[in-house]
Amino acid sequence: MIKQMIKTSLLAGSALLLMSGCGSDNKANSNDAVGGHNEQGALSIVYESTSADPASGKMIAHYHVHAVDENGNAISGLPLKVSLVNGARELRGQKVQHDTGTILSTKPISFHDDGIDFSQTDVRKGDTLIVIPSSGKTGKDYLGDWTIVEKGHDLGLRERSYGLESTNGLTYIIGNEQRWLSGRISAVAHVQGRGRNDTNSTSSSNHGFTYFDIVFDPVLAGHTATVGVHTEGNRMGGAKVITLRGGEFVAPDVKIPVTGKTEYATMRILIDPGDGMGTENLIDVELVPTSFTVEPLSNCRINYRLSDFRTDHNGEVTIAVDTFKSADSNSSKETSSSECTLKWNASAGSIYYEY
């Protein structure tokens, strides 16, 4: 079924034109809304599940968009375009630019940032710019994905928005489908649609659902990406920062000798997509320090200051553990374990968002 889904989907670069109305009867959770409610309604981007496709060696994350009007009624027959930023262009040393963007209601529409001369950056024509909701900036006229077609001091954008007013203080990200992990491993994620003949599409068009998939290399599991969506012409847009989910994380326990000194333990974190697809290293992510534990505590403590919780190109982290021998409080006899065990809580909740 998944193979058929891939063959019949209409893929066009990093974006896809979709029609709402094919999918489930399940209503989107209001907490997933990605564009503020307005006179024409709102869009929600909702994660469903992830499956593995051994034939292509890819993971497929299933999502849907739900469109409603100002009264909460589903909008049917709505043409939507969905785009994804996987690899972000770093500007000013960061992937997301917070509250510094300005969209201008010029013809064509343009984008400006007071602190950036885009002609001096590695931003390229064809890249995707996604305006992300932020405090006080949730207008449906500018949220979501835009295609960059001109690059100078400012950027020229392809899409139209009939009701757009020039707006500053916007948070945004620029990038495309490809990223490099540890500067040496290319990893790709792209959007594709699910056709009406897909067996997972069960509802009729009057429910306002649009279903799409994110197809990605398994090595990207646990990494952060941004999804943008918008309608054409009379624009209604939205965006959401997501974690690419899929498979399970595996981290074998590490034994540490108790020497009375600080020991440095190397732990390798793996991604297991399932379905016999082998494993991948979890590369270039920051792990939550408190997701690591060591026992027995009578002999070992994690030294957070000396530890490196970011995985390298081998999927390895280096954890500093202070070891010491304990004494029996009822006698002068020294009691101690000969080794301690370092563990990691292997779950997506133990990985920080990248931005």
Residue range 213-227, pLDDT digits in tens = 999 999 999 999 999
Longest Cα–Cα distance of the chain, Å, equals 85
Q: Is the pLDDT of residue 69 over 90?
A: no
Q: Is the pLDDT of residue 96 over 80?
A: yes
- Could you tell me what percent of the chain has a pLDDT over 70? 82
What mean pLDDT is predicted for residues 120-126? 98
Q: Is the pTM of this model over 0.75?
A: yes
Q: Are 287 and 344 in contact (CB under 8 A)?
A: yes
Cα separation, 117 vs 173, whole angstroms:
15
Confidence of residue 163 (pLDDT cuts 50, 70, 90): confident
Q: Is the pLDDT of residue 38 over 90?
A: no
Could you tell me if residue 8 is left (phi over 0), alpha (psi between -120 and 50 degrees) or otherwise beta? alpha
The 3-class SS string of 317-328 reads EEEEEEECCEEC
Confidence of residue 22 (pLDDT cuts 50, 70, 90): very low
pLDDT tens-place string over residues 268-292: 999 999 999 999 999 999 999 999 9
- Residue whose entry in the numeric block shows the structure tokens 């950056």: 121
Q: 79 CB contacts (<8 Å, ≥6 apart)?
A: 17, 18, 19, 20, 231, 232
pLDDT at 28: 30
pLDDT at 75: 87
Q: Is the pLDDT of residue 39 over 50?
A: no
pLDDT at 234: 82
Confidence of residue 261 (pLDDT cuts 50, 70, 90): very high
Q: Are 21 and 207 in contact (CB under 8 A)?
A: yes
Cis bond upstream, residue 289 (ω within 30): no
Q: Is the pLDDT of residue 24 over 50?
A: no
What mean pLDDT is predicted for residues 114-134? 98
Q: Structure tokens of 292?
A: 């690591």
Q: Is the pLDDT of residue 203 over 70?
A: no
pLDDT at 231: 87
Q: Structure tokens of 268?
A: 């390798």
What mean pLDDT is predicted for residues 122-149? 97
pLDDT at 335: 55
pLDDT at 246: 86
**What does pLDDT average to over the chain?**
86
